[in-house]
Structure 1
Amino acid sequence: MKKEPNYIIAEDWFAQQNWKPFAFQKQTWKAFLQGKHGLLNAPTGSGKTYALWFPIVLDYINHHPDYKTTHKRGLKAIWITPLRALSHEIKQSAERVAHDLGTGLTVGIRSGDTSTNERAKQKRNMPDLLITTPESLHLLLATKGYANTFKHCSAIVVDEWHELLGSKRGVQTELGLSRLKSISENLRIWGISATIGNLEQARQVLLGPDSSALKNSVLIKANLPKKITVKSIIPSTMETFPWRGHLGLRLLPEVIPIINKSRTTLLFTNTRSQCEIWFQKILEKHPEYAGEIAMHHGSINKETRQWVEQAIRNESLKAVVCTSSLDLGVDFAPVETVVQIGGTKGIARFLQRAGRSGHRPGEESVIYFLPTHALELVEASALQQAVKKNAVEDRIPYLNSFDVLLQYLTTLAVSDGFYSETIYKEVRNTFCFQGISEEQWQWLLNFLVLGSQSLQSYDEYKKVEVEEDGLFKVHNRGIAMRHRFQIGTIVGDANLTVRYQKGGYIGTIEEYFISKLKAGDVFTFAGRNLEFIRIKQMQVHVRNSNKKSTKVPAWMGGRMTFSAQMSELLRNELYSASLPFSDQSIEIRSLKTIFDKQRVDSIVPKPDEFLIETFESHDGHHHIFYPFEGRAVHEAMGSLLSYRISLLSPITFSLAFNDYGFELLSDQKLDIQEIIDNNLFTTDFLFDDLQKSLNSTEMAKRKFRDIAVISGLIFTGYPEKGIKMKHLQSSSQLLFDVFKEYESDNLLYQQAYTETFEHQLEEGRLRLALGRIDEQKFIWKHCGQPTPFSFPLITDRLREKLSSEKLADRIKRMIAKLQNK
């Protein structure tokens, strides 16, 4: 069969580099040049960038036979990346291809880091190939005459699509693509995705569920066998009673030989504080590493991060302690080994990090799993299974994000204006808004022009005007300027100041935790029992309390929770403890002493069993439930159960939860049989009961602040003069209360509740978990003391009351006492 001349150009270039194109690269070139859209699924480090830059350049050569002598300026292709940090590597690849083939094509970057001078140059002369972010793409759509900029664009590539999908940045991308499809007739849309479970749905979201683009599209999978070797670091002696934090740094001597035998090692931690501690401890114990070890996380300034990245490439660093800041895309050839400190809680994140080592096609990726407490070895065993089965999580796309849609419509009104009928058709073709009704659309248009129903007397909410021919347009320069400053969907989480009612300052705490408290709830903070009174202007007002029943704060870094797929794998590994010893994984075998003691005091549940343990201590009556579903589901399930129990008898609980189970602690004994007989784990009336069990209004109010910012209801301030979070919060609370009182059908107000239940409390997963529990046999064990399974929950309660030294001493005494019984 005769080859197309441009394939020869591509294959010759690969041969000059001593490379050979992979089958998936050739498939992608062919599909693109046939005019198809598509989604490319390939592992990191496999050559995805060349799979799509090449056909874009070849297509240009195809349509411009005189390309070596004549170069027609103008934007020809856009490459969207979720991370600005990846832009420079993508640019280098594009420039290499464009230059080596003698095309004269220019490559530019447009992101938050792009200087004002560079933007001005781009305004006069757009580069041929533009690398940008979803936010910067929308800023271009907010520019007058944007249609002329994009009309000759023949390709859009959305890189790391799995990172954008399942977030509002993904919705922003969907809307941007819906507009560009109408402007450019010959546009081809391609996504690149590495680790994702729901690939088919990912393609639908990218191209639109019923679009002609989807019908003319392909899904290309790179069948490149990537060997991932997971090695668990198993402690030589295993304590019978595990607790969070008792391992970790104790295994540092096991890590040093790993670092010494590799060119470069990345040590991934889950939190920034953990990153700092490990970096300091390694240097403290091994000062000879000074100058050869570095740290990389999101709070470190950009220059230092870039220096560290370059030092890895130059092989001048032996090890880097890092967080998720090095998860994505960055190509570090010298990295031979990765160490994961503590459980990643998700398969995709673990595979992403494993892929940072051996970042070349065909090379083995080696990742060591270092547990921070013994039961995390069950998670390590589950991850081994995930690698064997190629299991990976789905990313769930957002639906009806009206705040993002309002921002987008204002963007179009700020530039050239829009006609309702045209944009409604485009918007309805996106996945996010496929179900939007005429009535909802009309509400959104009224909102832009008049403000909402209850705000019509305030001119500041009337942003868009309707001209005689029906064009929706922003004429006010101030509104246009403020809108451009605020384009984007990333809104930061806030810290609240904790103060006594009379004014004494105690410290700061994350609003995520505080937003769930009701007046009168008691929580432990800074070693004190504090009664929550109210939140006022981003301050938490409290008073001292003598109550024993308290809540322990959940901190942002410790809030990572198991994904649904990870929970299922973990349960299966836990159940395997009942199999013959020879059929167990190394990790499960290593936990034999823990499982043996658990069986003496209680049971290790089998697949058809749901374990409940109760015992008494000087703290009160402990009631512990083990769904093994992850902390987010356990938090909601614990609150739900305590509410339903309170309907049977007046009793108050203190709730604690981790990834394995949750505890209801009270000063009264609870009749577990009554819970079982009354079917309190039912999914009936779940939504209503969940609303009543948590302070859902306060949680929705916090969620509404983000929605108010994204939709443009609240202005966050000009650069360097941002409005303080407390002012944003008080403004959004005022609006929330107005809508609650006078306009409960307000779409943004309703969206706040929807997002609280669907995304924060994972109501869908909770429903599935309750359904599974309903089919299991309840095993209630009244234990004389804490069991190995309950011990991590019990000791977590002490964490907020004691310093780490005192905590360790206290736990040692507890273990000694339990082992002597």
Structure 2
Amino acid sequence: MNREELYTIAQDWFKDQEWKPFKFQKDTWTAFLQGKHGLLNAPTGSGKTYALWFPIVLNYIKKNPDYKTEHKKGLKAIWITPLRALSNEIKQSAERITKDLGTQMTVGIRTGDTSTKERSQQKRNMPDLLITTPESLQLLLSSKGYAKVFKDCSAIVVDEWHELLGTKRGVQMELGLSRLKSVSRELRIWGISATIGNLEQAREVLLGPQTSTLKNSVLIKAKLNKKITVKSIIPKEMETFPWRGHLGLRLLEDVVPIINKSKTTLLFTNTRSQCEIWFQKILEKHPEYAGEFAMHHGSVNKETRVWVEQAIRNESLKAVVCTSSLDLGVDFAPVETVIQIGGPKGVARFLQRAGRSGHSPGKESVIHFLPTHAMELIEASAMQQAVKHEAVEDRIPYLNSFDVLLQYLTTLAVSDGFYPEEIYREIKGTFCYQGISEAQWQWLLNFLVMGSQSLQSYDEYKKVEIEEDGKFKVHNRGIAMRHRFQIGTIVGDANITVKYQKGGYIGTIEEFFISKLTRGDVFTFAGRNLEFIRVKGMQAQVKNSTKKTNKVPSWMGGRLSFSAQMSELLRQELYTAELEKKQQSIEIRSLAPMFKKQREESIVPKPNEFLIETFKTRDGYHHIFYPFEGRGVHEAMSSLLAYRISLLLPITCSLAYNDYGFELLSDKQIDIQEVLDNNLFTTEYMLSDLQKSLNSNEMARRKFRDIAVISGMVFTGYPNKGIKMKHLQSSSQLLFDVFKDFEADNLLYQQAYTETFEHQLEEGRLRMALERIAAQDIVWKQCTKATPFSFPIITDRLREKLSSEKLADRIKRMTAVLMK
């Protein structure tokens, strides 16, 4: 069959559905059938799944003219999805094509949710088209004879590539692809990415820099002018002293008419705890929603999640409060309205969520923005600009993740073994390890065989043996079994299952939250009030309770920070506060009372100004700096400046920070002018000052726990018999201390510091922020009392100490004093 005939098959199918293929879909078909690799950039809900399933099936038809009567078994294509929740959607799209075109191709799913029975069936008989996750792909590479399974695979599609890029799961994917390229000669590699700034680099990471794969590839962009409308919910009374979380629930009644007007509404929160709170409060105030209102986040059990997803599809739910667990492309046609509660902290995340409404080609997406404090209206205004200028973040790829590489090499040694020179060539071709040196490679190989230098006398670290012909292989079944249990790069805090005393499963909560509870404590989870009884093994036993509570589990993921793109947009919007009214957005205009109050004591900074405020309260001397750079950068910058100030004045400070600025609170006054004259914001000696200022050993030690788990030095336990977090922590800390004292050139030990500075403290962004501030006019305002800008930072510090009722009372009193 020639290409024209194949296109006719596809176009006829589209005609039968009363659709018309987009240009980007046709371009993808052409490139794929010409044997090219590529990256497809298309927004959520634009039909990107059909852009790639079609050419995969057409390619099979081309090679097998008798496809209707004869079926050639074996794996032909792999579709990688970062989220298990999406696999059913993707399977339905594939089956629709394979069945309608009369092929006998089978479609299968293999993820953490796949039953053991189904897995062993797949082992005997692989489906033609396999939908799986990065972790499950690695598990397939760890099984004996994998090369035979992948031999005739013609395509691998990595969906939602923007979600994987800049994470260790992305690195895992790069390594998997480097192996499959050698095993499957016909393989075409394709990525699909929605919102991302550095598209060219994203393609390079996917296909490998300076490779023939990259040279024979295309970048296809879908040009579908999708209209996105952002509507802010503006409070009728504007608070002049804003504080986090307070305003959100005050606007609950403004949300109700929006829900009532729509068939289905998704309310997105940034954190699981916020999700729990909103679900409770809406039902409390509006019991009439019972049965039509649900909650969805990653820690709720699978049955409930699947039920919610299905109920949205058949329109039996009025509204769902959810987190990112629902914003990654689950194809819901009926969602009419999306409400974002609180600033989403990043442009890409916001656009992704907006795309959930009007989720089909040509439809307008409407997203309502509900601020959780007045300052977030500046974020809302910045979002409008981002949508207008299509300004999206870059994702920064990892380099030299030795922990992931060690895990991968063990995977290969567990299956059929590997020859170092062959694998070294493949690894050098990936983006992450393009700079790996011979010496580093030798160190890693030694590590696999002997453990590191300081651990040579311990047999448990000797995993891999070298056979006579030089092949690296694992012979010990126990090592192989333990390794397979631990494949993956996501190391959260240890999760504890929450179950009723009589045995019903509710979901999972991170260990650090449970560790704070005592018997009889009541907390809200999965929409219910639960009384804590005891922890047994890795299970928390609970019973239902009628008591009211304000304890809500918090998860470590709840500490989102602004992206660089978002900070830049936010500053630009803030600067418009000094312009004429007609040049301002509706959100900035609505904040006029707050800006007016701010000007009474201080200023609203202009583009060339950097603001520092100082004032005294009964808590001490407050020194507040406003870089508007996001929580992550402020954490590092506040430590750095506090350290530099302590070199000049013998002073101790406590630090508090949010996305807008940070506070140094001290018992003595700091002479800001004297400090500024001593080059406070210089980038010179930044790294060494930062290392001294932060407890960088402590931060690196925490990072090392993850590295130790991923590289396989620390075993996390068998399923349902998990090892307690404190044991994990102590064994990884022991290793960390051994390396610190006896083997400082250990690559994994060094990696802990690199990751702390580059990823957690965003050293590059910190440097740019300091350079920007050094070029601005620094305005120091000595105020008599707290200002509206400083208020969210001060109240955030109080939040750590007070319960929410006491906090609300204290803030009421503070506001009353400040309003006088």
- Using the size of structure 1 for normalisation, the TM-score is 0.92
Count of aligned positions: 771
Question: Structure 1 residue 813: deviation in Å?
Answer: 2.0
Distance 1:204 1:338 in 2: 34
What SS does the corresponding residue of 1:4 show, helix, strand or coil?
helix
Aligned to 1:764: 764
Aligned to 1:32: 32
Question: Structure 1 residue 494: deviation in Å?
Answer: 5.3
Q: Which moved more, 1:327-336 or 1:28-37?
A: 327-336
Q: Which moved more, 1:697-706 or 1:486-495?
A: 486-495
Aligned to 1:533: none
| Equivalent AA in structure 2 for residue 53 of structure 1 | W
| Equivalent residue runs for 1:164-183 within 5 Å | 164-183=164-183
Aligned to 1:305: 305
Identity %: 81
Task: After superposition, give the CA deviation of every residue in 1:457-507 in whole Å (9 maximum; x if it has no partner).
Answer: 1111111111121111111111111111111111112599xxxxxxxxxxx
Tell me, yes or no, if the aligned pair for 1:401 and 1:751 is still in contact at 8 Å: yes
Task: After superposition, give the CA deviation of every residue in 1:731-775 in whole Å (9 maximum; x if it has no partner).
Answer: 111111111111110000000111111111111111111111111
Aligned to 2:504: none
Question: Structure 1 residue 241: deviation in Å?
Answer: 1.4
Aligned to 2:135: 135
Flag the 1:66–1:98 CA change in 2: closer, same or farther, 3 A: same
Segments of 5+ residues of structure 1 without an aligned counterpart are 497-507, 515-552
Aligned to 2:592: 592
Aligned to 1:91: 91
Aligned to 2:347: 347
Tell me, yes or no, if the aligned pair for 1:510 and 1:556 is still in contact at 8 Å: no
Task: After superposition, give the CA deviation of every residue in 1:264-307 in whole Å (9 maximum; x if it has no partner).
Answer: 00011112221122112111211111111111111211101111
Task: After superposition, give the CA deviation of every residue in 1:579-638 in whole Å (9 maximum; x if it has no partner).
Answer: 111100000000001111111211110111110000111111110000000111111100
Question: 1:228 and 2:228 equivalent?
Answer: yes
Distance 1:434 1:174 in 2: 11
Task: After superposition, give the CA deviation of every residue in 1:412-444 in whole Å (9 maximum; x if it has no partner).
Answer: 111111111100000000000000000000000
Question: Structure 1 residue 805: deviation in Å?
Answer: 2.5
What SS does the corresponding residue of 1:104 show, helix, strand or coil?
coil
Task: After superposition, give the CA deviation of every residue in 1:343-374 in whole Å (9 maximum; x if it has no partner).
Answer: 11111111111111110000011100000100
Aligned to 2:537: none
Question: 1:13 and 2:43 equivalent?
Answer: no
Flag the 1:36–1:375 CA change in 2: closer, same or farther, 3 A: same
Tell me, yes or no, if the aligned pair for 2:110 and 2:133 is still in contact at 8 Å: yes
Aligned to 2:811: 811
Question: 1:613 and 2:636 equivalent?
Answer: no
| Equivalent AA in structure 1 for residue 237 of structure 2 | T
Distance 2:408 2:628 in 1: 41
| Equivalent AA in structure 2 for residue 754 of structure 1 | T
Distance 1:159 1:294 in 2: 28
Aligned to 2:560: 560
Aligned to 1:327: 327
Question: Structure 1 residue 331: deviation in Å?
Answer: 0.9
Aligned to 2:622: 622
Question: Structure 1 residue 674: deviation in Å?
Answer: 1.2
Aligned to 1:364: 364
Q: Which moved more, 1:774-783 or 1:557-566?
A: 557-566
| Equivalent residue runs for 1:403-802 within 5 Å | 403-493=403-493, 556=556, 558-802=558-802
Distance 1:572 1:14 in 2: 45
| Equivalent AA in structure 2 for residue 461 of structure 1 | Y
| Equivalent AA in structure 2 for residue 298 of structure 1 | G
Question: 1:65 and 2:65 equivalent?
Answer: yes
- Using the size of structure 2 for normalisation, the TM-score is 0.92
Aligned to 2:379: 379
Aligned to 1:530: none
Distance 2:644 2:495 in 1: 32
Tell me, yes or no, if the aligned pair for 1:151 and 1:184 is still in contact at 8 Å: yes
Segments of 5+ residues of structure 2 without an aligned counterpart are 497-508, 516-552
Distance 1:441 1:802 in 2: 52
What SS does the corresponding residue of 2:336 show, helix, strand or coil?
strand
Aligned to 2:290: 290
Distance 1:166 1:747 in 2: 20
| Equivalent AA in structure 2 for residue 457 of structure 1 | S
Tell me, yes or no, if the aligned pair for 2:272 and 2:554 is still in contact at 8 Å: no
Tell me, yes or no, if the aligned pair for 2:602 and 2:781 is still in contact at 8 Å: yes
Task: After superposition, give the CA deviation of every residue in 1:4-31 in whole Å (9 maximum; x if it has no partner).
Answer: 1000000001101111100000000000
What SS does the corresponding residue of 1:798 show, helix, strand or coil?
helix
Aligned to 2:530: none
Aligned to 1:56: 56
Distance 2:756 2:717 in 1: 26
Distance 1:343 1:126 in 2: 45
Q: Which moved more, 1:107-116 or 1:152-161?
A: 107-116
Question: Structure 1 residue 556: deviation in Å?
Answer: 3.3
| Equivalent AA in structure 1 for residue 155 of structure 2 | A
Flag the 1:92–1:115 CA change in 2: closer, same or farther, 3 A: same
Question: Structure 1 residue 803: deviation in Å?
Answer: 2.7
Distance 1:473 1:650 in 2: 58
Question: Structure 1 residue 88: deviation in Å?
Answer: 0.8
Question: Structure 1 residue 148: deviation in Å?
Answer: 0.6
Distance 2:815 2:427 in 1: 61
Task: After superposition, give the CA deviation of every residue in 1:493-542 in whole Å (9 maximum; x if it has no partner).
Answer: 2599xxxxxxxxxxx99979x9xxxxxxxxxxxxxxxxxxxxxxxxxxxx
Flag the 1:709–1:555 CA change in 2: closer, same or farther, 3 A: closer
Distance 1:495 1:146 in 2: 32
Q: Which moved more, 1:724-733 or 1:580-589?
A: 724-733
Task: After superposition, give the CA deviation of every residue in 1:649-707 in whole Å (9 maximum; x if it has no partner).
Answer: 21000111111110001110101001110011111111111111111111111111111
Question: Structure 1 residue 809: deviation in Å?
Answer: 2.3
Distance 2:3 2:256 in 1: 53
Flag the 1:250–1:788 CA change in 2: closer, same or farther, 3 A: same
Distance 2:574 2:53 in 1: 46
Distance 2:293 2:753 in 1: 46
| Equivalent AA in structure 2 for residue 714 of structure 1 | V
Flag the 1:139–1:666 CA change in 2: closer, same or farther, 3 A: same
Aligned to 1:389: 389
What SS does the corresponding residue of 1:247 show, helix, strand or coil?
helix
Tell me, yes or no, if the aligned pair for 1:270 and 1:557 is still in contact at 8 Å: no
Tell me, yes or no, if the aligned pair for 2:78 and 2:130 is still in contact at 8 Å: yes
Tell me, yes or no, if the aligned pair for 1:418 and 1:473 is still in contact at 8 Å: yes
Tell me, yes or no, if the aligned pair for 2:494 and 2:724 is still in contact at 8 Å: no
Tell me, yes or no, if the aligned pair for 1:292 and 1:316 is still in contact at 8 Å: yes
Tell me, yes or no, if the aligned pair for 2:279 and 2:295 is still in contact at 8 Å: yes
Distance 1:447 1:807 in 2: 52
Distance 1:368 1:634 in 2: 29
Task: After superposition, give the CA deviation of every residue in 1:171-222 in whole Å (9 maximum; x if it has no partner).
Answer: 0000000000001111100000001111100000000011100000000000
Q: Which runs of 4+ in 1 moved over 3 A?
A: 508-512, 553-558
| Equivalent AA in structure 1 for residue 298 of structure 2 | G
What SS does the corresponding residue of 1:688 show, helix, strand or coil?
helix
Tell me, yes or no, if the aligned pair for 2:493 and 2:556 is still in contact at 8 Å: no
| Equivalent AA in structure 2 for residue 16 of structure 1 | D
Q: Which moved more, 1:783-792 or 1:565-574?
A: 783-792
Tell me, yes or no, if the aligned pair for 1:41 and 1:220 is still in contact at 8 Å: yes
Distance 2:562 2:310 in 1: 33
| Equivalent residue runs for 1:179-198 within 5 Å | 179-198=179-198
Question: Structure 1 residue 320: deviation in Å?
Answer: 0.7
Question: Structure 1 residue 806: deviation in Å?
Answer: 2.6
| Equivalent AA in structure 1 for residue 461 of structure 2 | Y
The alignment's C-alpha RMSD in Å is 1.8
Question: Structure 1 residue 253: deviation in Å?
Answer: 1.2
Distance 2:350 2:560 in 1: 13
